[in-house]
């Protein structure tokens, strides 16, 4: 028994590997008897959820051509070999096994499955459950046989996706090479986080999508689920069909699968405008979907936007690097899937999409069942195109380039004779410049002229003169978003403004102005999540913030009130980050708190400086705290509180907290301490001692549907006991029980928390119970 190398994890390393050295060239049969366990996890892979068991990788013997001393350099690979599986289960259990040939035989109280492939495979997956937990159907197409396995009640939805798979697979084959599997299992997996995944000849789709497929609006998640299906099917070409080093070069798996899936999606549903949440019927729920989510574009909002946000927050790094050297594992998904896709698309544009697709097809035909490296990809592309790709790969694949393409100005003058001359000032900021398209548009539809600008380190600023037969009114660089760009706002000159009336919108390359928000009556404006402001005319209230990346934000609010005049606050809020141990080599950043320094504007022109520090740890432990200090005209208000959660039993938690505060001198009354945590007492004071406790029992989670309108996700019962004392008054205490129900609507995008319970006053004397109810919502 040997320890696992710390390639992808830093926990449970001892005795993680059983090494069996095989004599080179010696004939014979080796039989290894071993026992393993299926852990119970929310992902359910590898492991179990209820009576459903799943294990894709590593449960079987792996033939590695390395020694333990070189494992870290070798990375995490799954070599393909001629595996076959024989699985014996008790009667009353059923297995869904991939394979070119699968047979079943029954002997006594055992059912035995045998699965064989006609070629080497790298991931002979196990998937089995008690009878009744899984049901199946078969759908045969011209070239493929889809075997669907679904949880009871979802046959119709999985059949529709199986039909979609029979359309996606030939589309991939035509462009990227023959699919190595004729029999493909399409499995509905019971996991709760929404994780979908693939292995040789099998695709797992999370139940999360099926539960919400038609929630509130018919087909609200149908296109999202089809995209997930397309991505997982693409792994039969990339990551599974062609193997990679999953520890350092997972980009070759996930980003290329993403590239195939987005390409199919945009060919099927179009590339421009809202193409994800498109109503299939007319109805109230469908109108809600269109108004709230109708603007969403798959590539811009679900792929490019996460990259823009991650780069802005300072969590951007190379897409290809050893797992143990990653500095920001919290951004792994965005780095590998989203930024990774953008780089693949930029590479395809750089060398030419047609030639790029030919190289992908050639690699698939040559390396199916083998492995591809980044160096091998570059070599194949250079051989096919004659282009030196060292600068591209050094900047964008193994490097940490960031780029910003800007149209700085547009000047137009009449040309001699006829037409116009436009002077376009273009600027490049960053590293890894790539050729980009620039488009000039006129006032009338169809008036446009395009040219290519190739910035470089020696010419980051260039003024290009272009002759046109129309007067250009706008210049745009990279109009199709073909290259990674960390600031889309300056892609246009003049800068774009989008006015939002009614239907929601979220432009990546424009300021927005939202007039009379129907939910709040506010007038709002801003740019993405970089800055925003809002005015509520009825309450004479204004607020806004400006965010400064990972550092923090400047925020302010003000209100004019009839009773006290102008009040408000201005503060700098600094983000507090920690790097907890999460079991992965490298570092993971977690936002654990904020520190705010600012001042309140009080009535009568008084200003009150304040400091507030809040923190909460939820990764390795659960605890929280708050310290605040307010100074006002020689007096102060001080508060400190904290709490911790204790695990008493599986999914049973005890939370304990305490707080202490004091106000001195002539601190304004609005800063006095209240009893906000109580339902049966009111009052304020200049000193407060608070004690809080709550016990949360395991939640009920049965996914209860209320028609197609709402989904009751969980109900949790809590018991609480709170006590406090204001000034020199008596102790106050109350106890009670609360039910917290989590409800979803609109495909899971609207989440409601329903709170209801009963509370009894205990001190200074026992009193009559009081019912309470509440609702909070979020999108």
Averaged pLDDT, 83-97? 96
The pLDDT score that the predictor gives to residue 25 is 80
Q: DSSP character for 643?
A: E
Return d(Cα 748, Cα 538) in angstroms, integer.
32
| Phi, psi angle pair for 386, to nearest 5° | 75, 10
The pLDDT score that the predictor gives to residue 37 is 87
Q: DSSP character for 4?
A: P
Quickly count: other Cβ atoms within 10 Å of residue 302's Cβ.
Answer: 15
Q: What is the pLDDT of residues 725-770, one digit of tens each?
A: 999 999 999 999 999 999 999 999 999 999 999 999 999 999 999 9
Range scoring the smallest mean pLDDT among 74-83, 305-314, 570-579: 74-83
Return d(Cα 451, Cα 127) in angstroms, integer.
54
Q: What is the pLDDT of residues 186-209, one digit of tens each?
A: 999 999 889 999 999 999 999 999
Half-sphere exposure of 778 (CA within 13 A, CB side): 4
Return d(Cα 548, Cα 80) in angstroms, integer.
48
Average pLDDT, the chain: 94
- Kindly indicate the confidence band of residue 68, based on its pLDDT and cuts at 50, 70 and 90: low
Q: Which of 312, 293, 294, 292 is nearest to 529 (CA)?
A: 312
Contact, 254 vs 338, CB < 8 A? no
Q: What is the pLDDT of residues 349-394, one digit of tens each?
A: 999 999 999 999 999 999 999 999 999 999 999 999 999 999 999 9
Return d(Cα 345, Cα 484) in angstroms, integer.
9
Return d(Cα 163, Cα 174) in angstroms, integer.
18
The beta strands (E) that lie in 60-206 are given as 84-90, 93-95, 101-107, 110-116, 126-130, 135-140, 145-150, 183-189, 197-199, 202-206
H or E segment and range at residue 743:
strand 732-745
| The token pair that represents 523 in the structure block | 């007038």
Return d(Cα 91, Cα 302) in angstroms, integer.
45
Q: Which of 222, 227, 235, 133 is nearest to 184 (CA)?
A: 235
Half-sphere exposure of 506 (CA within 13 A, CB side): 17
Q: Which of 410, 416, 415 is nearest to 463 (CA)?
A: 410
CA dihedral 352, 358, 361, 362 (to 10 degrees): -120
Range scoring the smallest mean pLDDT among 66-75, 390-399, 639-648: 66-75
Averaged pLDDT, 461-472? 96
- Kindly indicate the confidence band of residue 8, based on its pLDDT and cuts at 50, 70 and 90: confident
- Kindly indicate the confidence band of residue 75, based on its pLDDT and cuts at 50, 70 and 90: confident
Contact, 19 vs 69, CB < 8 A? no
H or E segment and range at residue 422:
strand 420-430
pTM score = 0.95
Q: What is the pLDDT of residues 586-597, one digit of tens each?
A: 999 999 999 999
What is the set of domains in the chain, with CATH numbers? Answer: 403-494 (2.60.40.10), 497-538 (no CATH), 665-779 (no CATH)
Averaged pLDDT, 672-676? 94
- Say which residue the tokens 């051509």 belong to: 65
Contact, 498 vs 512, CB < 8 A? yes
- State the first-to-last Cα distance of the chain, in angstroms, to the nearest integer: 50
Return d(Cα 767, Cα 680) in angstroms, integer.
9
The beta strands (E) that lie in 374-528 are given as 403-414, 420-430, 436-442, 448-453, 461-468, 472-477, 492-493, 496-500, 510-514, 523-527
The pLDDT score that the predictor gives to residue 239 is 96
Return all residues near 347 (Cβ < 8 A) that are at least 6 apart: 356, 381, 392, 396
The pLDDT score that the predictor gives to residue 407 is 98
- Kindly indicate the confidence band of residue 399, based on its pLDDT and cuts at 50, 70 and 90: very high
Given a cut of 90, whether residue 225 has pLDDT beyond it is yes
């Amino acid at each position: 028994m040997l320890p696992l190398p710390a390639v992808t994890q830093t926990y449970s390393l001892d005795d993680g590997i059983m090494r069996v050295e095989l004599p080179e060239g010696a004939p014979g049969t080796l039989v290894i008897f071993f026992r393993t366990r299926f852990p119970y996890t929310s992902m359910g892979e590898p492991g179990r959820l209820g009576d459903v068991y799943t294990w894709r990788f590593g449960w079987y013997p792996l033939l590695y051509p390395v020694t333990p001393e070189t494992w870290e350099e070798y990375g995490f690979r799954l070599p393909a070999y001629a595996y076959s599986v024989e699985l014996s289960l008790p009667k009353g259990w059923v297995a869904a096994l991939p394979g070119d040939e699968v047979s079943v035989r029954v002997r006594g109280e055992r059912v035995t499955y045998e699965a064989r492939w006609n070629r080497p495979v790298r991931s002979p997956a196990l998937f089995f459950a008690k009878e009744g937990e899984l049901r199946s159907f078969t759908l045969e197409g011209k070239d493929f046989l889809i075997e669907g396995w679904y949880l009871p009640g979802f046959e119709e939805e999985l059949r529709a996706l199986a039909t979609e798979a029979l359309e996606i697979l030939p589309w991939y084959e035509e462009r990227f090479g023959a699919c190595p599997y004729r029999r493909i299992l399409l499995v509905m997996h019971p996991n709760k986080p929404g994780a979908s995944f693939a292995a040789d000849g099998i695709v797992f789709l999370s139940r999360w999508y099926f539960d919400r497929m038609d929630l509130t609006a018919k087909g609200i998640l149908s296109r999202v689920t089809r995209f997930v299906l397309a991505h997982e099917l693409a792994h039969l070409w990339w990551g599974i069909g062609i193997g990679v080093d999953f520890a350092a070069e997972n980009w070759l798996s996930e980003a290329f699968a993403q590239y195939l899936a987005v390409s199919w999606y945009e060919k099927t549903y179009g590339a421009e405008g809202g193409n994800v949440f498109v109503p299939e019927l007319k109805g109230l729920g469908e109108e809600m979907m269109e108004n709230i989510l109708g603007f969403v574009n798959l590539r811009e909002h679900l792929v490019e936007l996460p990259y823009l946000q991650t780069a802005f927050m300072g969590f951007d790094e190379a897409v290809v690097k050893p797992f143990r050297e990653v500095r920001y594992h919290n951004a792994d998904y965005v780095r590998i899937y989203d930024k990774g896709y953008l780089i693949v698309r930029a590479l395809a544009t750089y060398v030419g999409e047609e030639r790029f697709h030919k190289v992908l097809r050639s690699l698939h035909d040559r390396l199916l069942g083998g492995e591809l490296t980044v160096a091998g990809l570059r070599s194949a592309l250079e051989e096919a195109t004659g282009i030196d790709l060292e600068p591209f790969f050094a900047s964008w694949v193994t490097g940490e380039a960031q780029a910003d393409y800007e149209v700085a100005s547009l000047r137009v003058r009449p040309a001699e004779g006829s037409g116009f001359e436009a002077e376009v000032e273009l600027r490049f900021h960053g590293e890894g410049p790539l050729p980009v398209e620039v488009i000039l548009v006129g006032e009338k539809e169809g008036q446009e002229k395009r040219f290519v600008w190739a910035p470089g380190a020696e010419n980051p600023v260039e003024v290009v003169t272009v002759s046109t037969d129309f007067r250009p009114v706008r210049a745009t660089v990279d109009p199709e978003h073909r290259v990674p760009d960390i600031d889309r706002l300056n892609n246009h000159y003049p800068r774009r403004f989008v006015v939002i009336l009614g239907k929601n919108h979220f432009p990546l390359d424009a300021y927005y102005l939202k007039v009379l928000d129907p939910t709040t009556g506010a007038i709002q404006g801003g740019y993405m999540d970089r800055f925003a402001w809002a005015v509520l005319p009825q309450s004479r209230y204004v607020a806004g913030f400006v965010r400064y990346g990972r550092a923090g934000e400047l925020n302010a609010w003000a209100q004019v009130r009839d009773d006290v005049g102008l009040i408000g606050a201005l503060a700098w809020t600094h983000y507090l980050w920690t790097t907890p141990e999460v079991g992965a080599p490298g570092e993971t950043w977690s936002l654990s708190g904020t520190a705010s320094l600012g001042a309140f504007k009080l009535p009568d022109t008084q200003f009150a400086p304040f400091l507030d520090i809040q923190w909460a740890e939820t990764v390795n432990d659960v605890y929280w705290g708050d310290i605040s200090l307010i100074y006002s005209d020689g007096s102060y208000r001080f508060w400190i509180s904290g709490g911790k959660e204790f695990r008493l039993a599986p999914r049973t938690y005890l939370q304990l907290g305490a707080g202490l505060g004091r106000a001195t001198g002539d601190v304004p009354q609005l800063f006095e301490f209240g009893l906000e945590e109580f339902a049966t007492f009111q009052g304020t004071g200049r000193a407060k001692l608070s004690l809080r406790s709550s016990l949360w029992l395991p939640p009920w989670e049965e996914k209860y549907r209320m028609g197609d309108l709402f989904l009751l996700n969980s109900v949790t019962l809590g018991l609480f006991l709170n006590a406090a004392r204001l000034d020199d008054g008596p102790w106050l205490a109350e106890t009670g029980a609360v039910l917290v129900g989590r409800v979803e609507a609109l495909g899971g995008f609207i989440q409601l928390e329903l709170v209801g319970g009963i509370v009894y006053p205990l001190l200074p004397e026992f009193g009559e119970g009081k019912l309470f109810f509440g609702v909070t919502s979020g999108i």
